[in-house]
Structure 1
Amino acid sequence: MIVLNFKAYKEASGKKALKLAKIAEEISKKYKIDIFVAPQFLDIPLLVKNVNIPIIAQHVDDVEEGRFTGSISFNSLKEHGVYGSLINHSEKKVPIEKIERIIKISKKYGIKIFALASDLKEAENIARLSPYSLSYEPPELIATGNAVSKYKAELLKEFVELVERINPKIVKLCGAGITDEEDVKAALDFGTQGVLIASAFVFANNKRKFLEKIAKVFIS
């Protein structure tokens, strides 16, 4: 599984977001692997309408619908055909009580929650809430090119074992600093089922070639 986070990069906005998503769709079909795209919120309808891979939000609030000005509601995600949502990225932290409510509401709406944890204690607390997916992503490694699967290898191993003990059904991912196919291979060797990638894809000189190399790791 590959999750591509477009963050708020101008290079991954509007028509550029669609172009990137089309590349992801092409690689997903060619190699028969799951690739999820998390675009900026206003780009969600454009991508849902024009690509045939799952689109996930970068955030959702603990509200269904109603008088919640400025909130991203589950009803809105459902109406727009969104598959799931990231939650608790280190750039958009959420209190554990709110995460619990979000996961509870998500099950009612059939929206998959891709939760993230910055450390093992947070990972343990979130795993007990049973999100669809949980990713270990140390914030100090984000966008550094220093992959968690290499520079925090022992902690990644502990993360995988921890989540497996609590709930083996949770899809285990990792992110932060994932730059090339060797980083991905190392992550999979530790027992994760996929990776989150952002800047390495968005700013790659040849985005198709980059994603293709990553995809090949999953079928080798």
Structure 2
Amino acid sequence: MYKWPSETAAFCGGLWERLAGTSGVDVVICPPYTSLAEAVRPFDRTDVAVYAQNVHWAEEGAFTGEISTRMLLDLGVDGSLVGHSERRQHFGESDETVARRTVAALEAGLRVIACVGESEEEREAGQTELVLRVQVETLADAVGAHEHLAVAYEPVWAIGTGKTATPEQAQEAHAFIRSLLDVPLLYGGSVKPENADELLAQPDVDGALVGGASLDVESFAAICEAAARIRS
């Protein structure tokens, strides 16, 4: 819950200037609903995509506080996050509702980044693969390896904590996810310029879902440049 519209407009302008000349990487920004229009406007007809942070499965109806696929499409939004760890933790998002949101978004023509990941307690109990299997197979059963679907692995214990999975831990989790669903895989969990190169160099890490480091133009651009270097 960061950046009101005027801040978003300034951020987008700065990011566009900063990324001039950077190629070979897909850049996506996910501002809050109130700032989507401010983000869509400067990036119209560019390679930078704009996603919402969440989307509902119904086209319309009595779902106060939710946003439909049609509303996003009318704004010119390209896609949406679904099932972010904070949505699961604070708003009761389940594997089933994540799948419903994903199906609706993809059927409407939006792209989706669906998030999965285990808690610290689940990792310490040796349940990482069990948790990931349930989450990923629920998605796979609903939509399969859809061409507009990407999955972000977010170890919950590394979200907003300053902790980061080691490159080896990230690779192990991503390889397991890919064995269940072969789509582009992003790592999310305290990604920053200092660790981006090593994380993105892993064979099954296709990109990053950047959190706090994406709030600053310089740090986010540095991560984008790291991805471009790895992919070149």
What's the TM-score, normalizing by structure 1? Answer: 0.82
The yes-or-no answer on 1:139 pairing with 2:156 is: yes
Give the match for residue 58 of structure 2.
Answer: 63
Give the match for residue 12 of structure 2.
Answer: 21
Q: 1:145, 1:179 within 8 Å by CA — same for their partners in 2? A: no
Give the match for residue 214 of structure 1.
Answer: 223
The 1-side partners of 2:62 and 2:199 are apart by 46
Say which SS state the counterpart of residue 81 (structure 2) adopts.
Answer: strand
Per-residue CA distance 1:131-163 (angstroms, 9 max, x = gap):
601111112212233322x2xx44422322123
Q: 1:27, 1:211 within 8 Å by CA — same for their partners in 2? A: no
- Shift in alpha-carbon separation, 1:212–1:77, aligned structure 2, 3 A: closer
Give the match for residue 107 of structure 2.
Answer: 108
Give the match for residue 189 of structure 2.
Answer: 176
Say which SS state the counterpart of residue 103 (structure 1) adopts.
Answer: helix
Aligned CA RMSD, in angstroms, stands at 2.1
Give the match for residue 158 of structure 1.
Answer: 172
1:38 Cα deviation from its structure 2 partner = 0.5
Q: 2:79, 2:111 within 8 Å by CA — same for their partners in 1? A: yes
Greater mean deviation of Cα atoms: 15-24 or 75-84: 15-24
What are the equivalent positions in structure 2 for 1:92-107 lying under 5 Å apart? 92-93=87-88, 94-107=93-106
- Shift in alpha-carbon separation, 1:126–1:172, aligned structure 2, 3 A: farther
Task: In structure 1, list runs of 5 or more residues that go unmatched.
Answer: 1-7
Task: In structure 2, list runs of 5 or more residues that go unmatched.
Answer: 119-128
Query: Across the two proteins, how many residue pairs are aligned to each other?
Result: 203
1:184 Cα deviation from its structure 2 partner = 3.9
Q: 1:127, 1:163 within 8 Å by CA — same for their partners in 2? A: no
Q: Percent identity between the aligned chains?
A: 22
Give the match for residue 85 of structure 1.
Answer: 80
Give the match for residue 4 of structure 1.
Answer: none
**Higher relative contact order by CA 8 Å / sep ≥ 6: 1 or 2?**
1
The 1-side partners of 2:97 and 2:214 are apart by 30
Say which SS state the counterpart of residue 55 (structure 1) adopts.
Answer: strand
2:206 to 193, 203, 212: 193
Q: 1:124, 1:162 within 8 Å by CA — same for their partners in 2? A: no
The 2-side partners of 1:155 and 1:185 are apart by 12
1:27 Cα deviation from its structure 2 partner = 4.1
1:81 Cα deviation from its structure 2 partner = 0.9
The 2-side partners of 1:174 and 1:125 are apart by 18
Give the match for residue 31 of structure 1.
Answer: 22
Greater mean deviation of Cα atoms: 190-199 or 158-167: 158-167
1:127 Cα deviation from its structure 2 partner = 4.6
What's the TM-score, normalizing by structure 2? Answer: 0.78
- Shift in alpha-carbon separation, 1:68–1:215, aligned structure 2, 3 A: closer
- Shift in alpha-carbon separation, 1:219–1:108, aligned structure 2, 3 A: closer
Per-residue CA distance 1:12-33 (angstroms, 9 max, x = gap):
2221112222233334442122
**Which residue identity lines up with residue 61 of structure 1 in the other structure?**
H
1:74 to 42, 66, 69: 69
The yes-or-no answer on 1:49 pairing with 2:49 is: no
Following TM superposition, where does structure 1 have runs of at least 4 consecutive aligned residues deviating by more than 4 angstroms?
A: none
